[in-house]
Amino acid sequence: MYSESVGVETGASSEARGSLILASASPRRRKILEACGLSFRVVVPEVEEVHWHGDPEGTVTENAARKCRWACERYPLVTVIAADTVVVFNGESIGKPKSYDEAVTMLEQFSGCSQMVYTGVAMGISDQPLQQSTTKSRVHFRELNSSDIEAYFRRVDPLDKAGGYDIDQHSDLIIRDYEGSWTNIMGLPRAIVEAWLTCK
CA–CA separation, 125 vs 136, rounded Å? 25
pLDDT of residue 126: 85
| pLDDT per residue as tens digits for the range 67-89 | 999 999 999 999 999 999 999 99
Provide mean pLDDT across the span 54-65.
95
pLDDT of residue 98: 92
CA–CA separation, 92 vs 86, rounded Å? 10
Please state at what angle helix 27-35 crosses helix 190-197, rounded to 10 degrees: 50
Q: Say if residues 43 and 75 touch (Cβ distance below 8 Å).
A: yes
Q: Say if residues 42 and 86 touch (Cβ distance below 8 Å).
A: no
Residue of 97, 17, 82 lying closest to 47 (CA atoms): 82
pLDDT of residue 3: 33
pLDDT of residue 38: 87
Which domains are present in the chain? Answer: 20-197 (3.90.950.10)
Residue 97 pLDDT exceeds 70: yes
Q: Say if residues 141 and 175 touch (Cβ distance below 8 Å).
A: yes
CA–CA separation, 188 vs 180, rounded Å? 13
What pLDDT band is residue 53 in, cutting at 50, 70 and 90? confident
How far out from the chain centre does Cα 118 lie? Answer: 9
135 half-sphere exposure, CB direction, 13 A CA radius:
21
How far out from the chain centre does Cα 116 lie? Answer: 14
pLDDT of residue 198: 74
Question: Could you give phi then psi for residue 77, rounded to 5 degrees?
Answer: 70, 10
163 DSSP 8-state letter: G
| pLDDT per residue as tens digits for the range 137-155 | 999 999 999 999 999 999 9
- Compute the mean pLDDT over every residue in the chain, rounded to the nearest whole number: 88
Residue 50, number of CB atoms within 10 A of its CB: 14
Residues classed as catalytic: 84
| pLDDT per residue as tens digits for the range 1-42 | 333 333 333 334 433 345 899 999 999 999 999 998 889 999
pLDDT of residue 151: 97
pLDDT of residue 1: 33
pLDDT of residue 199: 47
Q: Say if residues 24 and 42 touch (Cβ distance below 8 Å).
A: yes
